[in-house]
Structure 1
Amino acid sequence: MTGVRRFLFLNGLSLAFGGLFLASLVGQAFAGVADVNDHRLSEGLEPISLARFVTSSSFAVDVMENWQSEYLQFFLYVFATVWLVQLGSAESKEPHKVGRESDEQQSLGKHLRKDSPAWARAGGVRTALFSRSLGVVMGTLFLLTWAASSVAGWSAFNNEQLMGREDPVSWVGYLGQAEFWNRTLQNWQSEMLAVGSMAIFSVYLRQRGSPESKPVGAAHHDTGQTG
């Protein structure tokens, strides 16, 4: 296997979803500008360009709202699965492993492996930070995308206010608007439903060969096993 083919094979999952993400984002941009222009033409207005649409606050708020709800989902899931279990779920730890687990279970201290990451070997603050790095990064990305979605939504809201000859509101004022929380909670509830469904469905359902599923022949009460 050549170097390029080996790279593609070993990184297929991230590359495939990265490609699907970009294709979906481009598709959203084209579909979005077409939808906006349909409405503008029906109102007797000139259509806008794709470039103007993708740099608009309306496009930004739609994108950021989706991103922040996804990062919220993973942030909560990473931390919740430290302490919470679902008996029989492939998405859960085994009940006796609840908590931060021992150094032996986490391959730390005297249980380090030859190929353990450098920051796992470093000890002190670096190891403490590295041991929480996934949750920290997911939480930070959630906060950044939430802030971006609120600013974009604020801009879009004020554009509508001005078009309706009403006074614009401050950013803090926008955070108190029902529209902001209606849009935000719509996204959040769908993510919580998806995570909860996956946790319970994996107790009773199987997908042969998937690491997100238990082995087909595993008992329903087997917890934390993957195929």
Structure 2
Amino acid sequence: MRVLRDNGLTIVLLLLFAGSIAGQWLAGWHVAAEDAQRHHQLAMSLSAYTSSPEFLSSVFENWESEFLQMSAYVVLTAFLIQRGSAESNDPDAQPRDKDLDKQALKPGVPTVLRWGAMWRALYARSLGLALFALFLISFVIHWTQSAQVAAQNAIEHGEVPLSRLAYLGDPQLWFESFQNWQSEFLSTAVLVVLSIFLRQRESPESKAVAAPHSETGS
């Protein structure tokens, strides 16, 4: 089917996402049930676990790091170069997106480019802005849900829980964030460097198999 051929990458990635988050959901519920049993507490139902701070915090903790990595990557690759990498612009090539006011007159361009200079400037940065907005939303949900988990743990141990605002300065929140951020930035740097010397046939994330190592861009 043409729909599957034209959208296969998105469909497969979303199916992999659905399977992965379902696995996290079920495995996390079992872990929470085992923890409740060890503390002689009543275990949550699966539906209750779905909206629990424990589950939501773990989900958005990961989403936060992914959207941060993608937004940083999209923006940094716009003006930083790694010669020889498939993930970099060619420093010797002409800028692709200059003279947008003239390019806006070409047939088939996005209509927003014809709305004026302000809209062109905004649209020209819309991908990075959207990804950064998704990072901020994910971070806020991770922060507030993690604060709830910490407050529950504090109450169980007879301690005074921190407010959500105070929890923003708690090492636990930043430990959860930085442990994911560092892996995202490392994996991106590894991809940038490996794509100089290694190839994946027919992938747009790779240079052509026969391309010289010094060739930059895919």
TM-score by length of 1: 0.91
In the alignment, structure 1 residue 66 sits paired with structure 2 residue 58: no
Q: Is the 8 A contact 2:101 2:117 kept in 1?
A: no
**Structure 1 counterpart of 2:192, which letter?**
A
**Structure 2 counterpart of 1:128, which letter?**
A
Q: How many residues matched?
A: 217
In the alignment, structure 1 residue 122 sits paired with structure 2 residue 118: no
Counterparts of 1:54-93 in structure 2 under 5 Å? Answer: 54-93=50-89
2-structure distance, mates of 1:127, 1:41: 58
1-structure distance, mates of 2:87, 2:205: 7
In the alignment, structure 1 residue 111 sits paired with structure 2 residue 107: no
In the alignment, structure 1 residue 163 sits paired with structure 2 residue 150: no
1-structure distance, mates of 2:131, 2:63: 11
**Structure 1: where are the runs of 5+ without partners?**
none
1:156 to 1:138, Cα distance in 2 relative to 1, 3 A: same
User: Among the aligned pairs, what percent are the same residue?
Assistant: 37
RMSD (CA atoms): 1.6
1:217 matched residue in structure 2: 210
Per mean C-alpha deviation after superposition, the further-off stretch among 196-205 and 32-41 is 32-41
1:203 matched residue in structure 2: 196
1:83 to 1:181, Cα distance in 2 relative to 1, 3 A: same
1:101 to 1:124, Cα distance in 2 relative to 1, 3 A: closer
Q: Which runs of 4+ in 1 moved over 4 A?
A: 97-101
Per mean C-alpha deviation after superposition, the further-off stretch among 177-186 and 34-43 is 34-43
Counterparts of 1:1-80 in structure 2 under 5 Å? Answer: 5-80=1-76
**Structure 2: where are the runs of 5+ without partners?**
none
Per mean C-alpha deviation after superposition, the further-off stretch among 119-128 and 66-75 is 119-128
**Structure 2 counterpart of 1:8, which letter?**
L
2:132 matched residue in structure 1: 139
